[in-house]
Structure 1
């Protein structure tokens, strides 16, 4: 029902038309059984010509309505899945960064990939299920027309079957839900495999401990929950077939001894039940996929609600102001939980003022809060306390998007896009090529129509490409988080002595997070952090 409601929210009119045509198709198919049974009856007085025309008419109706139902629901389901994917992606990008970090990448990725795909697969089945259900309903109507007593017996059998199957399906659904929780943990371990491959290779004991105690144990638990759940579904399928064959046997051997029934009516029952076998089998076989999709849909809705609780105000930012005087942070604080140390870390309160056309170094030991401060300065983190002022204009939810557009940042854990997205400039390729030469990458990378020829470079060279993007953005404030850490000594010197000075000469403010104390003398100011507090602030 969650899936049907999801489709109805997408376009209820199209869903209604598709379901109605699906039931018409199934009903027409069931009508064919009655017609075939009537034509096979020797006592039937109707002309074969009229029966043949009726047969052709029902076949045409069944075919046309089946095509309409399937095409409409396939198109609708794919549009709904597109909306689901885009809606989730928009929600993720609109949510607060700190909240996304707390949710964790494995959970988000599992939902975007596994859960959405599970829903997509199940939604694709819905038009076929509608037709199968219509066939079942049509056959039941025909059985009622033949004998209401037999219909009552069939209803009793269906109640018994549905009650017992529901118990089995509910147990299987609970096990699949547990398997889906295991999958979140499994995604986290897969991330460890890809991102921690060097550390795992260098330490045999660590690798074996991870494989046996974490990855294998989670994978085994995931497998066991799936096996138990799918076993219950298999039992449900077999149990449903047993009840079905029991009903056929009852009609053949027991019913004639209980009530008077003509051979023609009995053959009609048998023909109808035989025809029912395929749609009933389809329904029962597809139930596990529907239930799995329901579990995934609940995960999607859960993530959506979690994201919506920390959704930022979405606005189209006006043009940025390249001429500015000061950026003030007044008493800002931020708290986050550190799992390794099992405690909370509080940054602040921080009072800091930045001015146009200056170079500021932010220094301090590991864990002192430098990267967190960078995210607060750039508006990626929202201060829990305190205020940020841009030329005495208070930064709030309504103008935070506009405020962020004043920064070009290369974080230590940067992401490198393969295209120069969002940079509308007729001379973009030429400008980029000029910067490539300055960054000593012209022999490695070419740019054509804003697309990089390759990003398969060393980490230091990839950081230079990220710097290239920052150059092309041409924003008032530049922030570099340990940018020079992966550069060779020659280019590290170029970065500190030439590139920073050039940016300052262009009127830019440059904020540098660095451990390279030999270059501290190049800064106009040095801000040192110690365990979340400003220890001192020196002007050179």
Structure 2
């Protein structure tokens, strides 16, 4: 994946037109230099007149093609940035949950912020860079037309300059890649800084160790790698400028002696090279930004979020039809994962699981910490894909083709839920009225208002935020509900209300409910009790309701 592919994919027609304008720009630049050189070499009055008209026409063409190519490339590059942001967001939404969990939030955040910003900055310089390249190409053609022998020497000097620059740029790129790896660790520390702020404030020694050993060390490494990389690029740029002046000196003082070149050829080369200094500087200054963008794109690809793959990011417009069902079956389902990110010393395996659920059941999933309850919940809801075995709904196997349809049957509140400040995807005419009814039932009307689907606040206690998450689940009104440790942050009164009134009410409405819970005093509310122990079903029994 590279920048130019993204640009072409955004709008190859615009890029083609910009390329043609760039060619005309380069040609008009070469023509303009030729006219200037011709005028300086020949002061004949008759020729000066038509040279003046030629100069005027070439200037107009140069300005027009420069402006048009700039505008076209700005349009194409901004379109590419827009598409890249949307595509990467869709890729994240379409990627398996387990993949995203393995990547981790800090790396995803670094990609969505710095990596995209690095690519965006490189796109912003492309219009000027393309024009600079067109001018360089036009000037080289003009120098070849002036003298092939002199041009051959120029090509040798350019080849030497490019080779030496690439040697330095290769070292600089290695440091930039190392800096990008340090950036992931830096974002992990930033997450610890924000999410662990209370713990850091309450323990001076922990705070000092975190600042000195973690944050400062990583930030220093990040700074050093960037400093070394950009210093090498600055050295390479200075080396390039030095070679340019050496070339001018060679043409002025050595070339006439070696090749017996005419004065018009020498002056033509000097004028052209002087004119090339600014576009060449543009090209050299663009290389570090392009290198950072290349590192960013490789990082995106390494996260298995390749921008080249459109198929994973397809968003279907049609709304999946939610249909009544009678039986949900897990047949020899297994799922494994390592004990932690990058830790392969311990592998937890859930299963094989053989369970069958009937519509309208109230099922409690219980067990100790780490027994696999939440993993089973994610398998049931289709967020995790079974590594072996299958899930069936009324005999129909759930595959990649119908997994999205299957997921739309669930309303879920996970233990690590996210609370949106707007009731997205619930565009019903009576939404505010229905939401207000649930807010009263959830005892939140004194803290939260709702207007046109917008919640007045989400800055509440954990227990109250969970009630707002429950509000969204109720408004979705889907046939299957799953609550993961929902009552753990509720006061005793509301906990009892949840188990003894809200859950039975949902069951009476024909909903199927899965409850992951530790509240053994309310197990009698369930129709079935499934206990997990180290990834295995210890028992699955029917509960005799009093």
Tell me if structure 2 keeps the 8 A contact 1:19–1:127. no
- Corresponding residue for residue 498 of structure 1: 501
> 1:334 aligns to what SS in structure 2?
strand
- For residues 45 and 64 of structure 1, the distance between their equivalents in structure 2, rounded to whole angstroms, comes to 29
In structure 1, how many angstroms separate the alpha carbons of the residues matched to 2:315 and 2:454? 29
Residue of structure 1 in register with 2:130 after alignment = 130
Q: What pairs with 1:511-526 in structure 2 (closer than 5 Å)?
A: 511-526=514-529
Once the two structures are superposed, the pairs formed by residues 5-404 of structure 1 within 5 Å of their partners are 5-41=5-41, 43-261=43-261, 263-304=263-304, 318-321=320-323, 323-339=324-340, 342-404=345-407
Alpha-carbon offset, residue 459 of structure 1: 1.6
Q: How far does residue 310 in structure 1 lie from its aligned partner after superposition? A: 12
Could you tell me how far 1:78 is from its partner in structure 2? 1.6
Quick check: 2:90–2:315 contact (8 Å CA) kept in 1?
A: no
Choose 525-534 or 28-37, whichever is displaced more.
Answer: 28-37
State the match for 1:488 in structure 2: 491
Cα 1:133–1:346 change in 2 (3 A) is same
Aligned-pair RMSD on alpha carbons? 2.5
Contact kept in structure 2, 1:389 and 1:395, CA below 8 Å: yes
Distance 1:456 1:257 in 2: 81
Question: Aligned residue pairs: how many?
Answer: 539
Q: 3-state SS of the aligned residue for 1:413?
A: coil
2 CA distance for matches of 1:306 and 1:278? 36
Using the TM superposition, give the Cα deviation of residue 220 of structure 1 relative to its aligned residue in structure 2, in angstroms: 2.1
1:96 to 1:45, Cα distance in 2 relative to 1, 3 A = same
Distance in 1 separating the partners of 2:241 and 2:483: 66
How much does 1:42 deviate?
Answer: 5.1
Alpha-carbon distance in structure 1 between the residues aligned to 2:148 and 2:486: 81
C-alpha offsets along residues 25-48 of structure 1, whole Å, 9 cap, x if unaligned? Answer: 233233222222333345334444
Contact 1:116 1:300 in 2 (8 A): no
Q: How far apart are residue 530 of structure 1 and its match? A: 1.6
**Number of the residue aligned with 2:410:** 407
Give per-residue Cα distances to partners, 1:191-230, cap 9 Å, x unaligned: 2222222233333333333333333222222222211111
1:525-540 counterparts in 2 under 5 A?
A: 525-538=528-541, 539-540=543-544
Distance in 2 separating the partners of 1:387 and 1:3: 41
TM-score after normalising by structure 1: 0.93
- Residue 264 of structure 1, CA deviation: 4.8
Once the 2 structures are TM-superposed, how far is the Cα of residue 85 of structure 1 from its aligned partner?
2.1
SS in 1 for 2:303: helix
- Please give the alpha-carbon distance, in whole angstroms, between the structure 2 residues aligned to 1:387 and 1:263: 83
Give, in whole Å, the separation in 2 of the partners of 1:522 and 1:435: 22
What is the CA distance between 1:341 and its match in structure 2? 9.0
How far apart, in 1, do the equivalents of 2:94 and 2:15 lie?
Answer: 30
Q: CA deviation at 1:294?
A: 1.4
Separation in structure 2 between the aligned mates of residue 176 and residue 312 of structure 1, nearest angstrom: 29
Alpha-carbon shift at residue 261 of structure 1 (Å): 4.6
Shift of 1:139: 2.1
**Structure 1 residue 311, shift from structure 2 partner:** 5.6
- Say yes or no: does 1:457 pair with 2:489: no
Q: Which secondary structure state, in structure 2, belongs to the residue aligned with residue 342 of structure 1?
A: strand
Secondary structure at 2:446 match in 1: coil
Q: Deviations over 1:161-197 (max 9, x none)?
A: 1111111111111221222222222222222222222
Deviation at 1:483, TM superposition (A): 1.0
> By how many angstroms is 1:491 displaced?
2.1
Shift of the 41–341 alpha-carbon distance from structure 1 to 2, 3 Å rule, reads closer
| Larger CA deviation: 193-202 vs 398-407 | 193-202
Q: Shift of the alpha carbon at 1:324?
A: 2.9
Matched, 1:438 2:441: yes
Q: Which runs of 5+ in 2 are unaligned?
A: none
Is 1:476 equivalent to 2:496 in the alignment? no
> How many Å apart are 1:468 and its aligned residue?
0.7
1:88/1:304 contact within 8 Å kept: no
Query: How far apart are the structure 2 equivalents of 1:2 and 1:527?
Result: 51
